[in-house]
Chains A and B, each alone.
Chain A
Amino acid sequence: MARAVTTNRKVVSTVFGWAIAILIFFPILWTILTSFKTEAEAIASPPSFLVFDWTLENYSTVQERSDYFLHFMNSVILSLGSTVLGLLIAIPAAWSMAFVPAKRTKDVLMWMLSTKMLPPVGVLVPIYLIFRDIGLLDTRLGLVIVLTLINLPIIIWMLFTYFREIPGDILEAARMDGASLRDEIIHVLTPMAVPGIASTLLLNVILAWNEAFWTLNLTAANAAPLTAFIASYSSPEGLFYAKLSAASTMAIAPILILGWFSQKQLVRGLTFGAVK
């Protein structure tokens, strides 16, 4: 009897769960499907769902007409560059706060986080003018710097929470066994720190890839990553649905895949330990 009830319940929640999941995912699914249609079919009425002449033409057209690859590479360079640079600055900082906490470590951490709360539009004007004056507007270097700085607090904070989970006793045990500081770092700490660093890297690449305030305001043709490139479709090319969909699909696909691996880190990285 009890078993029947639970099975029924599972059927009901499965049906509801799938229905809502497909509804939420539908805009993405629709974009992917449309990217394989011809322009005529993309706006056909009534819309065709799966039965249409699948074509890859839009993908090649997007590349030919708009130099898609340049913007894709810009996105890769900006997100990876800012993440790696951020990690290089953040790892020592998070490390020292986690293993040699001082009286004011908590204040420093909280202050770092507070810089993340600064609304970008509040500092748009000076950054824009500084960039204009020193020639950093529409350069990859300029954006790497900005993206590094805006995400640095999140990187430090995430690394700190991971490093703190590394038990200090292990260090002492290694020291007792006669390990030098160098051995300690290479053979004991690094292997334990790698998963946390990898998770941080993953989440930060996603955040930088999708950043759409600074990338829109500080770039033009040269350094524009995919966020800004796609925005250029807002008119009048946006009416070419199939090409818009192909460009969109290519822009979101890598991050969707990375994102699915990072669900857990997302909670940790964006709530700063306030939800466990």
Chain B
Amino acid sequence: MATQHSRAAARTMISPAVILLLGWMLIPLGLTIYFSFLRYNLLMPGANPFVGFENYAYFFTDPAFWPAVINTLLLVGGVLLITIVGGVLLALLLDQPIWGRGIVRILVIAPFFVMPTVSALVWKNMFFHPVNGLFGQLAKGLGFEPFDFLAQAPLASIILIVSWQWLPFATLILLTALQSLDSEQLEAAEMDGAGALSRFRHIALPHLARAITVVILIQTIFLLSVFAEILVTTNGGPGNASTNLTYLIYAQSLLQFDVGLGSAGGVFAILLANIVAFFLMRMIGKNLDL
């Protein structure tokens, strides 16, 4: 059906998008790689000599590097654990008959629509603040010492904030997957005397496995880049206690103006994200029949 003519028209229609995305990908990417081989600091204008892998050597031996890697892993892993386990439980609950289910769903999904800077500030001041925050007041009311969350457990506090933002996403996707589950199969299992737990383990969980994988991959892509929540709450501190890779590279690039070093970090971040992206793309590709 597709004639030569329509093929040519199709190519014309698609080319603006392709050219723009190609430029958006190649130009900054090429520049990042190029800068990463230069000694290039905005505070020291002048020649930017080629220095080979010097920036990479600095980046990987920076005392802040390993803490940032570990913080990134803890942040991604912690949020994934909370949102997946919480999301499965919530999805199972919301799949039950509930009076006012529509409103319950709306309330549960709401945090996903709150912009990151707002959720970070609200949690920081109105909940985590040791004196005026709600948690502090609650502790005082119960006779406990107030706990300064962001000073004493900065990373855990940020994990809590980010989990609150992403739990709705996991829940919504898992709920969608759960609702496509064949109810006859469940009823048959129930007739055969399978308990709720074994129905979950042998029917619901395998059915959800695919959706869980998708949630893990998509969230990982976004969680590797958590930034605003850290900037607004702790600025990566105290010390490096809540600095993840994204924040570290941001600090090197735009706070210390070390373009070369920041670019080397950027290349590392791209490689890291690509590992996750590879698996995600494979899953999406398998589902796309053309």
Contacts and interface: CB of A to CB of B under 8 A. Distances in A.
A266 B111 CA distance: 13
Given A10-B99, A115-B25, A125 B284 contact: no
A25 B110 contact: yes
B173 A27 contact: no
Interface residues of B, number: 107
B116 A256 contact: no
A252 B281 contact: no
B221 A16 contact: no
B98 interface: yes
Given A126-B27, A271-B218, A18 B16 contact: no
B132 to A, nearest CB: 4
Interface in A229-276: 230-231, 233-234, 238-239, 241, 244-245, 248, 251-252, 255-256, 258-260, 263, 266-267, 270-276
Interface string B35-54: 10000000000000000000
A89 B17 contact: yes
B28 interface: yes
B29 interface: yes
Contacts, number: 311
Contacts of A267: 172-173, 176
A13 B98 contact: yes
Contacts of A10: 96-99
A124 B250 contact: yes
Contacts of A125: 31-32, 35, 253, 259, 262-263, 266
Contact of B118 (A89, A96, A252): A252
Contacts of A260: 106, 109-110
Contact of A28 (B104, B114, B132, B180): B114
B100 interface: yes
Contact of A122 (B16, B137, B269): B269
Contact of B164 (A27, A102, A118, A122): A27
A69 interface: no
B98 A14 contact: yes
A108 interface: yes
20 contacts: A24-B168, A31-B118, A45-B132, A92-B14, A92-B16, A93-B17, A99-B10, A101-B290, A113-B284, A121-B246, A123-B28, A125-B31, A216-B117, A227-B115, A227-B228, A260-B109, A260-B110, A266-B112, A273-B284, A276-B180
Interface of B: 2, 6-7, 9-11, 13-14, 16-18, 20-21, 24-25, 27-29, 31-32, 35, 90, 93-94, 96-101, 103-119, 121-127, 132, 134, 137, 140-141, 164, 167-169, 172-173, 176-177, 180, 210-211, 214, 218, 221, 224-225, 227-228, 231-233, 245-246, 249-250, 253-254, 259, 262-263, 265-267, 269-270, 272-274, 276-277, 280-281, 283-285, 287-288, 290
For the complex of A and B, the 5 pairs showing the least CB-CB separation, nearest first, are A259-B113, A126-B31, A123-B28, A92-B13, A96-B10
